[in-house]
Structure 1
Amino acid sequence: MARERSGPTLAHLVLATRLKSLREAAGLSRKQAADALGAHPVTVRRIEQAQTSLDEGQVRSLLGAYGAPDAEIEEFLGKLATANLPGWWHPWRSVMDPWQLDLMSVESATSIIRTWEPALVPALLRTRDYARAVDDALRPDLTAAAKEARTELLMVRQERLRTQQIRIWALMSAVALHTRVGGEGVMAEQLTALRAATERSDVTLQIHPLDGPPHALTGKPAITVYRVEAPEIPDRVVREGGPVGAADIWDAPTTVTDYRLLLDYSCATALHPDKSKEALS
């Protein structure tokens, strides 16, 4: 099922899943856990699905009921305190789209980000001026200050991903190389940046040439698949398009697999990374 709202952070999801695992390991039902908490079983279900905030007092009571040792309780509560801190992206919340708020904590926990962009340079490979020019063209609803803030956020995202050595596997159409965004100077700088990106060990770039045949993602909107490192948390797929600033997010394994296969099929018919590098020359 698609979601279009801000959700719990990855850290909260991991902790909620851990609570469920500890309850099950203790052999307790949700009703028994709720009785220990003095609450309704629905409350325990919502806690375990991270549909409500994790209250320190409730968490401590649940862990005690599950027989967790004092050291584990303190470690868990320490992680909860850290999870409750504002995310690094907090200063930009007011200019972020709702789906971006839902994905920021997931993005920082991925091992690889795979993305398809049908008409523009993929966001994670854009230069500052190119990114700003895209918002100038596509987001007339935003103020100049909001556009500048969104551009700054993107630059910080790129730097954090690079520092964390999160792999980016980008697939794009050569259409982007012929779509003038922001003028000749901006395009020249962006082309130089793409060439530099192909030299990075954490980036794989493939291009579908203009004269190539249809492929598995022909006609599809921008798609991003996040491979999440935390075993308790499913991968995510994001499909942009539709209303301005909107996107669909799925975490159902079958849906994520379907989109990952579409990327696989499309990458198989795109230019090899070495040939894609030559296409940028």
Structure 2
Amino acid sequence: MAGSSLPRRALGRRLRGYRVEAEKSQLAAGLHIEMSPQSIGRMEDGQKVKICTSQIRDLLDLYRVPNPSDERNEIFMLWQEVRDQALAAKLAGTAKGWWQAYTDQYEPHFDHYLGLEAVATHLTTHQVLLLPGLLQTGDYRRALSLVGDPTVSPAALERRLELAAHRRVRLADPSFRADVLLSEAVLRQTPGGRSVMVEQLRHLLEMIEASTNLSIRVVPSDAGSHLGLLTQSFTLLEFPPLASHLAEPPIVYVEGYDGSLYLERTDMIDRHRRAILDIQRVALTEHNTVQCIQQIVKEYGE
């Protein structure tokens, strides 16, 4: 999932839709164009596979997509966009995403998320226990890494901190916006001890003051009933239009200890949008959030 992940994902999603509508299995599709069903599945998931224009045309024939038709034109526009971006990435020496240099330092399921985060234009996250990676200081990240793997080597730990620092660069992009909703409990967890958390909270205050594309709001522990109590932690990622002017649907990412969920169905996206509105309803204003963080810093400093 490098820079071309969005058109690949859009192409794969549309081809899967046509296959399901035609009532064809991945095995049947693979046999038709001499590919494995696993490769068909990876392609439909937006992953890079070896496939040529004639094979895509054969798939559309198998799926009984009319020729000529607007549907075919859309598929081939996406395919051309995939090829153009792949060529541009190759010429620029960026065929792989920067994060893939650190694949030995994160779980395999997180690779896809990093690719999506790198191309998203708007991120809205609700967190109930820990700060999102984009806001973590080095010492906060170090403490969490040592909890997860107390035997991690110093060299590996430094690479994890490099990865975290590289992710934070995303916030410097004026075309990117992050809206962060934090349970008050997040501010009262102290991985690494109170001194680490004081540094982390002061970092949040600095970011709030300096950033024009970042909003941080705290949900107080006495906020009462709201949908965030049911959704728990999640992140909604939204994307720019493709070069073909097709809209790329958002994704809700839910991270777990042993894996992650990527929710794309329209009804699921709508439910999480409603949850965001309800959480924002009970969250402190940005001004009051600053006062809340300052008060906790004062408490920890005593």
Alignment TM-score, normalising by the size of structure 1: 0.75
Q: For 1:148-203, what per-residue CA distance to the aligned partner results, in whole angstroms no more than 9, with x for missing partners? A: 32222121011134225411110112222222222333222111111112121111
The answer to whether the aligner puts 1:103 opposite 2:113 as a matched pair is: yes
1:114-138 Cα deviation digits (max 9, x unpaired): 1111122232111111111122224
Distance 2:122 2:80 in 1: 32
Quick check: 1:19–1:63 contact (8 Å CA) kept in 2?
no
5 Å-filtered alignment, 1:62-77, equals 77=83
| Structure 2 match to 1:256 | 269
TM-score after normalising by structure 2: 0.70
Q: 2:195 and 2:33 mapped to 1: Cα distance?
A: 65
Instruction: Give the Cα separation in 1 of the matches to 2:12 and 2:217.
Output: 38
Between the aligned residues of both structures, percent identity stands at 22
Q: Does the 8 Å contact 2:11/2:44 carry over to 1?
A: no
Structure having the larger proportion of residues in helix: 2
Task: For 1:49 and 1:82, locate their aligned partners in 2 and report how far apart those are by CA, in whole Å.
Answer: 22
Map of 2:297 onto structure 1: none
Q: Secondary structure at the match of 1:180?
A: coil
**C-alpha distance in structure 1 between counterparts of 2:7 and 2:222, whole Å:** 45
* TM-fit CA distance, 1:266: 1.0
Higher relative contact order (CA 8 A, sep 6+): 1
Q: Secondary structure at the match of 1:157?
A: helix
Which 5+ residue runs of structure 2 have no aligned equivalent? 19-23, 62-66, 295-302
Q: Out of 208, 219, 222, which is 1:208 matched to?
A: 219
Deviations 1:39-73 (A, max 9, x none): 58x899768735664436x12675799898xxx89
Q: How many aligned positions are there?
A: 262
Q: Structure 2: which amino acid aligns with 1:234?
A: P
75-84 vs 58-67, which deviates more? 58-67
In 2, the alpha carbon distance for the partners of 1:220 and 1:99 equals 21
CA distance in 2, matches of 1:184, 1:48: 47
Aligned to 2:200: 190
Sort the Cα spacing of 1:83 and 1:59 in 2 relative to 1 into closer, same or farther, 3 A: farther
Any conservation in 2 of the 1:120–1:176 contact (CA below 8 Å)? yes
Letter in 2 for 1:110: A
Partner of 1:114, secondary structure, is strand
